[in-house]
């Protein structure tokens, strides 16, 4: 199996890190980017538009100074369905007791017997026999009857219940729209501050993703949509799942709410199915939620977390995501360093450097054919150091990265939006490459020199290069060349 010829192993799996108070501390954001963050997540569930704008401005300044392309992912809150608040801040519910969710109740008047709800139509969505899961499944209520605006329940699993905790219905089926009024306002902010990706929470079908795309409009046409798969109905059948994947540029396995709705036992296989389908349909995929949760308070991950991250890498995920670990934790930089080590360790496994991706299928597009041909050539020709793709949009490197390989795929792009978009793709290194002052017959030599300068290849290596006849033309990749790196390129 050919391997990367440079001295330093290049991590293929990308790291998404959420920004927040922890990353705002002096010097922390720069240390996080140096430790290997590829994509920063701006969580619109917390903070003001100004907070997000200032954080992204700082990310872009630091990334420019470090010579890195770092993508920004805006994450919409979506219709998180929550209980209201208790008079005393929290109550302890006992197993077997009666408890009422009262849509008509004052939002701050909750007691041990009943509490309000911020989602006023919840009583229309449930019926006797349904099971409601509160606080990510820590408390369980069985619905006994619905009377007008009141949902009467019996506590199946008790415990402490505090203000504003989330409600899920086992098996899904809550009718809240994926995009709330707050999301629509945040979507405008996301376009305004210039995110590269926008995540939509709780989509039920491709139509929810299409609504977001329509709202992005012309101003947000270059923003990639990420569907957060966290509702049972989104993954209930292959047709719905494939529709959502195809309506998006990427998907996220959002294991918190999804695990509550479908159950932990189902979650394992569902994660693997989502990653496989996303790769088959040429989309990127992020695995998220509690990946290194213990590192919020500890400088080292648990063995279970190490295996969880490694398994997502072995499954073929493009990226692994950190949430509270980097937004609010005590060890944000150490968490990224741990994530980096684990990803590199998992990527050394030979099984993920081999691929039968679409080997028995026909192709319909020339650029797709070239990209996949390049990867098969790279994986079978001895001495290849890298695959280099001259690209206007980043599409060819995306297609190429769907094939497992131990080799770096280098996206050479003039457009900074395309460079940042590629920061999410597994195995893709994105480098700026302005061809406007280059003669057509010098392009290949300039490309090889750029790879040598960045330590990706060395003299004696082969490089497989893909390009189009007309540079900067979207979808124009029609050429595959195998080039030799010489000392002239140093």
Supply the residues annotated as catalytic. Answer: 41, 82, 228, 289
Determine the Cα–Cα distance for residues 162 and 424; give it in Å rounded to an integer.
Answer: 37
> What is the end-to-end Cα distance of the chain in Å, rounded?
26
The CA distances from residue 358 to 408, 459, 475, in Å, are 20, 33, 20
The two tokens of residue 400 are 């190429």
Q: Which of 409, 395, 419 is nearest to 451 (CA)?
A: 409
d(CA 385, CA 388): 10
List C-alpha distances in Å: 204 to 134, 245, 261, 307.
20, 12, 13, 30
Closest among 230, 272, 220, 234 to 254, alpha carbons compared: 230
Q: How far is the C-alpha of 163 from the C-alpha of 109, rounded, in Å?
A: 11
The beta strand positions in 239-323, using DSSP E, are 250-254, 284-288, 319-322
Cα 102 to Cα 86: distance, rounded to the nearest angstrom: 12
Tally of CB atoms within 10 A around 89: 9
Could you tell me the two tokens for 59?
């990310």
**DSSP strand E in 291-367: where?**
319-322
Place of tokens 């440079």: 6
Cα dihedral value 295, 300, 304, 308, nearest 10: 70
């Amino acid at each position: 199996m050919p391997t990367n010829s440079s001295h330093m192993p290049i991590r293929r799996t990308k790291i998404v890190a959420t920004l927040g108070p922890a990353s705002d501390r002096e010097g922390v954001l720069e240390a996080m980017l140096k430790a290997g963050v590829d994509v920063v997540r701006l969580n619109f569930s917390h903070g003001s538009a100004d907070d997000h704008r200032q954080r992204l401005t700082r990310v872009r300044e630091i990334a420019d100074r470090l010579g890195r392309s770092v993508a920004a992912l805006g994450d919409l809150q979506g219709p998180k369905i929550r209980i209201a608040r208790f008079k005393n801040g929290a109550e302890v519910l006992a197993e077997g007791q009666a408890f009422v969710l009262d849509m008509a109740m004052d939002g701050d008047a909750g007691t041990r017997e009943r509490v309000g709800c911020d989602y006023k139509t919840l009583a229309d969505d449930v019926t006797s026999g349904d099971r409601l899961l509160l606080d990510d499944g820590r408390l369980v209520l069985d619905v006994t009857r619905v009377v007008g605006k009141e949902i009467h329940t019996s506590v199946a699993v008790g415990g402490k219940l505090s203000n504003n905790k989330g409600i899920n219905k086992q098996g899904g089926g809550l009718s809240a729209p994926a995009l709330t009024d707050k999301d629509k306002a945040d979507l405008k902010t996301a376009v305004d501050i210039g995110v590269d990706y926008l995540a939509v929470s709780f989509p039920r079908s491709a139509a929810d993703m299409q609504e977001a795309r329509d709202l992005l409009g012309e101003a947000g046409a270059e923003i990639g949509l990420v569907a957060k798969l966290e509702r049972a109905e989104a993954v209930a059948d292959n047709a719905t799942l494939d529709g959502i994947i195809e309506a998006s540029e990427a998907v996220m396995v959002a294991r918190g709410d999804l695990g509550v709705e479908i159950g932990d036992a189902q979650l394992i296989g569902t994660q693997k199915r989502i990653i496989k389908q996303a790769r088959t349909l040429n989309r990127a995929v992020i695995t998220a939620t509690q990946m290194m949760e213990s590192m919020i308070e500890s400088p080292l991950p648990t063995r279970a977390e190490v295996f969880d991250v490694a398994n997502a890498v072995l499954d073929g995920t493009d990226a692994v995501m950190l949430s509270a670990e980097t937004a609010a934790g005590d060890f944000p930089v150490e968490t990224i360093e741990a994530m980096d080590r684990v990803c590199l360790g998992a990527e050394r496994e030979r099984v993920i450097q081999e691929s039968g991706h679409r080997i028995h299928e026909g192709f319909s597009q020339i650029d797709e054919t070239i990209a996949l041909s390049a990867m098969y050539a790279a994986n079978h020709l001895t001495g290849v150091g890298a695959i280099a793709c001259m690209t206007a949009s980043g599409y060819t490197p995306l297609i190429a990265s769907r094939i497992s390989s131990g080799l770096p795929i280098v996206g050479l792009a003039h457009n900074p939006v395309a460079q940042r978009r590629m920061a999410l793709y597994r195995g893709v290194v994105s480098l700026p490459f302005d061809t406007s002052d280059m003669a057509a017959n010098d392009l290949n030599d300039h490309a090889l020199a750029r790879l040598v300068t960045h330590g990706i290849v060395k003299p004696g290596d082969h490089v497989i290069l893909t390009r189009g006849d007309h540079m900067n033309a979207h979808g124009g990749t029609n050429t595959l060349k195998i080039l030799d790196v010489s000392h002239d390129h140093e």
